[in-house]
Amino acid sequence: MTKVLVFIDNPGASLKKSSLELLTLARSLGESTVAINGDLSDDVAATFAEYGVGTVLHPSANDLGDFLVAPKAAYLAAAAETTGAGIVLVDNSPEGKEIAARLGIRLNAGVITDVVAVDPDGTAHKSVLAGSYNTACKATTAVSVLTLKANNVAPEPASAPSTPETATVEVPAVANAARITAREQKVASGRPDLTDARIVVAGGRGMDGDFGPVEELADALGAAVGASRAATDAGWISHDAQVGQTGKTVSPQLYISAGISGAIQQKAGMQTSKVIVAVNKDAESPVFEIADFGIIGDVFDVLPQAAAEIKKRKG
């Protein structure tokens, strides 16, 4: 049976949905081991048992988070070698992809990013060129390293819980890693992460400096807030919110585009969303070419009305 190694960095007090997706996929492919970095809470340990994890690995060093990527890749490479993993699964965050990148070189393993599904034989599926092609890819090496995009696997506990063993993995010394000398936590918005969110409400130039209506609708829907480059460049909202070719790529169940014309760079970041809704005053906006439901209208009328109606229906 294939041995599958899952990396979860700083699992925190409870596992994120994207981590549950990794565990669910791992179980479908073989016998799963988790390598964590950081503290393991009782709740997370219980979730690992619930998801059928065989072994939980810890690094021998506790300062991996003080450096960029390289020591984490070295730890994971050692963990993969110790467990004889045939597949290593990492989340698809920018850091996850870089860990996968360095890990691939250390293990002589092919790396596939942006994976949405994996067949039992290890063939990975992903979309490329901004969602215009669906491709199947396979590592030709003994080990495959795959980074899984969030929201593509339904988290599901194992039919019977496991009793995970624990073990420590010796982290090889890494010379020449960049050190993190200061870290400022950003104020948490309380909204879901943009890349993991089931629903995204995004605003653009048409918001004219006022993201209030976008945020209000997002909160009514329990959605993340996104933005076009025009809106982030104008300083109306933080750059983290940017969706598009030079920002984040999202593929939620629902994407609501408000006051965004839908230039190709914006479309590149969101056109694999399952359902697209667009609200824009300009009937000629290219976003209407790809919207499942389009409203030609003023965002400052439509968004607040929709938010109020949702609140009313939800009681």
Partner 1 sequence: MKIVVLVKHVPDAQFDRHLNGEGNTADRDESILSELDEYALEAALQLAEARGGSKAGNQVIALSMGPAGAVNAVKKSLQMGATEGVHLTDDALAGSDAAATSLALAAAVRHLGGVDLVLTGMASTDGETSLVPAQLAERLGLPQVTFASSLEVDGGRLTARRDADTSSETVEAPLPAVVSVTDQINEPRYPNFKGIIAAKRKSITTLSLADIGVDPAQVGFAGSWTTVTSAEERPPRTAGTIITDEGDAGIKLVDFLAAQKLL
* Window 280-309: residues binding partner 1 (CB under 8 A): 283, 288-298, 301-309
The rounded distance, in Å, linking the Cα atoms of 35 and 53 is: 11
Residue 277 to residue 275: CA distance in whole angstroms:
7
Task: Please state the closest distance from residue 54 (CB atom) to partner 1, in A.
Answer: 27
Pick 53 or 221: Cβ nearer partner 1: 221
Q: What track of x and - describes contact with partner 1 for positions 230 through 249 (by CB under 8 A)?
A: ---------xx----xx--x
| 209 versus 293: smaller Cβ distance to partner 1 | 293
In terms of Cβ atoms closer than 10 Å to its own Cβ (0-12, 13-18, 19+), residue 83 is: buried
Closest CB 202 distance from partner 1, rounded Å? 15
Q: Cβ 55 to partner 1, closest distance in Å?
A: 26
By CB under 8 A, residue 81 contacts partner 1: no
- Using CA atoms, how far residue 237 sits from 172, 188, 233, 256, in Å, is 41, 14, 8, 17
Pick the closest to residue 87 from 161, 139, 163 (CA basis): 139
Other beta carbons within 10 angstroms of residue 32's beta carbon come to: 30
* Positions in 86-115 near partner 1 (CB under 8 A): 94-95, 97-98, 100-102, 104-106, 108-114
Residues 154-213 that bind partner 1 (CB under 8 A): 175-186, 188, 193-194, 199
- What tokens were used for 44? 């997370």
Instruction: Give least dist CB 23 to partner 1, A.
Output: 22
Residue among 5, 80, 231, 276 that touches partner 1 (CB under 8 A): 276
Whole-angstrom Cα distance, residue 46 to residue 248?
32
- Other beta carbons within 10 angstroms of residue 251's beta carbon come to 21
- Minimum distance from CB of 136 to partner 1 (Å)? 5
| Residue ranges in 114-153 that form contacts with partner 1 under rule CB under 8 A | 114, 123, 127-141
Angle at 225 between CA 223 and CA 228, to 5 degrees: 140
